[in-house]
Amino acid sequence: MIEGAEGLFARIEEFPNPAAQTRVDSLVGLDDLISRLAQDAVAFADPTALRLWSEHVHGAVVPAVDALTDRTPLFIFSGDVGVGKTEVAEVLGQVVATSTRMDVTLYPLSLAARGRGAVGEMTTLITGTFDRITADFIKARRSDGTSESLGILLIDEGDALAQSRELAQMHHEDRAGVNALLRGIDGMRSDRLPILTIVCTNRLDAIDPALRRRAAVIEVFERPGHVQRAALLSRLFAGTGMSAADIDALAAVTSEVPGRPYGYTYSDLRQRLVPEVVLEAFRRKAAIDATIATDVLRRVPPTKPFAEAA
C-alpha cells in the first residue's frame, strides 16, 4: 500500500460501464472531438499500436513516429465554465474502451478540492498520485511492454497548479507542484506505462508555461452554438408540448443577444433551465410547453464568461 494513496482520488472508475455510456450518449455536438481525442489518447499513451501501424505501412518504425511518441501524453482541456471539459475528460475512457476493447481506468484528482495547506502538500499529493497509479499499472503490464489497458489521470480544476502565483510565498511551491507533475508523467513514460494525463482549466494562461509547452493536445472548449443548443433542447424536451419551432425559438433566445455578448452554456441549459421548466410545469400541474419555458427563461440568465465572473 502506497503511503497516503487512500483517499487520493474521488472515485476510481473502470470502463467500459453502462453509466458512462449513458453519459456519452447524452452529449451533443462533440462526437467528432471525442472520437479524435480517444484515438489520440491511445496513440500517445500506448505507442505500441502506432509502431505496429508504421511497420505495417512503411515496413519499419519511421523516425517521424518517434518524433510523435516523444510528445508527453498530456492533454489540456481549457475553456469557459459549463462547456463540457470535465464531462468529456470523465467519459473519454468509455469511448476508448468501447472503440479499442482496452480496459480503461480513470483516476480523478481534484487539486482545488484538496486545498493548499502546508508547504510541500501539492508535491506530496502529486507524487503520491503517480506512485499509486504506477503501482497499479506495473502489475498490469505484459512482459513484451505492450498493453491492453489504459489509465487516465484526470487533474480537474488544474488552475490550482499555478493559481496562487500572485502570492509570492507560494511561488516556490507552485513550481514544485508543476515539476512533480512533469516528473510523474516522464517517469510513467520511461516505465512504459500507458497512462494519459488530462488537466482541465478555465484559464489556459493560469497553467504553467512548462506544462503547456509539453501538452500533446490543447483543446479549447466553446459554449454551444445555435445548432448544439437546439439539439440538446430537443433531446431534453422530447415527448413534451414543445414543437420543433418552439425548440428553435428557444435555441435562438438562449444565444448571445444585444447587450449580452454571451449565450447559455451546456450546463445553463441542462442543469438550470430545463430542470426549472420541469419544476414550473409541475407546480402549475400543466404540460411543459413554450409558454412555461419562456416564463422560466426570464429568471434563469446564462452564466457570465469566466473572465467576467465575480
Ligand X SMILES: Nc1ncnc2c1ncn2[C@@H]1O[C@H](COP(=O)(O)OP(=O)(O)OP(=O)(O)O)[C@@H](O)[C@H]1O
Give the binding site for ligand X (CB under 6 A). 26-30, 79, 81-87, 200, 202, 221, 232, 266-267, 270-271
Closest distance between Mg ion and the C-beta of residue 200, in Å? 6
Closest distance between Mg ion and the C-beta of residue 24, in Å? 17
* Distance from C-alpha of 43 to C-alpha of 38, rounded to nearest angstrom: 9
Q: Which does 270 bind (CB under 5 to 8 A by kind): Mg ion, ligand X, none?
A: ligand X
Taking the mean position of all CA atoms in its chain, how far away is CA 265?
16
- Contact (Cβ atoms closer than 8 angstroms) between residue 209 and residue 151: no
Q: Which does 233 bind (CB under 5 to 8 A by kind): Mg ion, ligand X, none?
A: none
Closest distance between Mg ion and the C-beta of residue 303, in Å? 13
Looking at beta carbons only, is 196 or 247 nearer to Mg ion?
196
Round the CA-based radius of gyration of the chain to a whole number and report it. Answer: 22
- Nearest residue to the partner ligand X, using Cβ: 84
* Distance from C-alpha of 298 to C-alpha of 97, rounded to nearest angstrom: 42
Looking at beta carbons only, is 61 or 81 nearer to ligand X?
81
Q: How many CB atoms lie within 10 A of CB 241?
A: 15
Looking at beta carbons only, is 15 or 221 nearer to ligand X?
221
Q: Which does 43 bind (CB under 5 to 8 A by kind): Mg ion, ligand X, none?
A: none
Closest distance between ligand X and the C-beta of residue 60, in Å? 41
- Nearest residue to the partner Mg ion, using Cβ: 86
**28 in helix, strand or coil?**
coil
Looking at beta carbons only, is 149 or 265 nearer to Mg ion?
265
* Distance from C-alpha of 24 to C-alpha of 177, rounded to nearest angstrom: 32
Looking at beta carbons only, is 77 or 137 nearer to ligand X?
77
Q: Which does 83 bind (CB under 5 to 8 A by kind): Mg ion, ligand X, none?
A: ligand X
Q: Which does 82 bind (CB under 5 to 8 A by kind): Mg ion, ligand X, none?
A: ligand X
The three-state DSSP-derived secondary structure of 132-164 is: HHHHHHHHHCCCCCCCCEEEEEEEECHHHHCHH
Count the residues in the chain: 310
- Contact (Cβ atoms closer than 8 angstroms) between residue 280 and residue 54: no
Check residue 201 for interaction with Mg ion (CB under 5 A). no
# of chain residues touching Mg ion (CB under 5 A): 1
Q: Which does 4 bind (CB under 5 to 8 A by kind): ligand X, Mg ion, none?
A: none
- Contact (Cβ atoms closer than 8 angstroms) between residue 177 and residue 183: no
For Mg ion, the binding residues in 68-127 under the rule CB under 5 A are 86
Q: Which does 140 bind (CB under 5 to 8 A by kind): Mg ion, ligand X, none?
A: none
Q: Which does 29 bind (CB under 5 to 8 A by kind): Mg ion, ligand X, none?
A: ligand X
What is the four-CA torsion angle of 16, 139, 157, 35, rounded to 10 degrees? Answer: -40
Query: Cell match 473502470: residue?
Result: 14
Looking at beta carbons only, is 54 or 202 nearer to ligand X?
202
* Distance from C-alpha of 205 to C-alpha of 184, rounded to nearest angstrom: 22
Looking at beta carbons only, is 86 or 147 nearer to ligand X?
86
Looking at beta carbons only, is 8 or 30 nearer to ligand X?
30
Closest distance between ligand X and the C-beta of residue 237, in Å? 13
Nearest-10 crossing angle of helices 85-100, 31-45: 70
- Contact (Cβ atoms closer than 8 angstroms) between residue 131 and residue 2: yes
203 class by beta-carbon count within 10 Å (0-12 exposed, 13-18 middle, 19+ buried): middle
The footprint of Mg ion (CB under 5 A) covers: 86
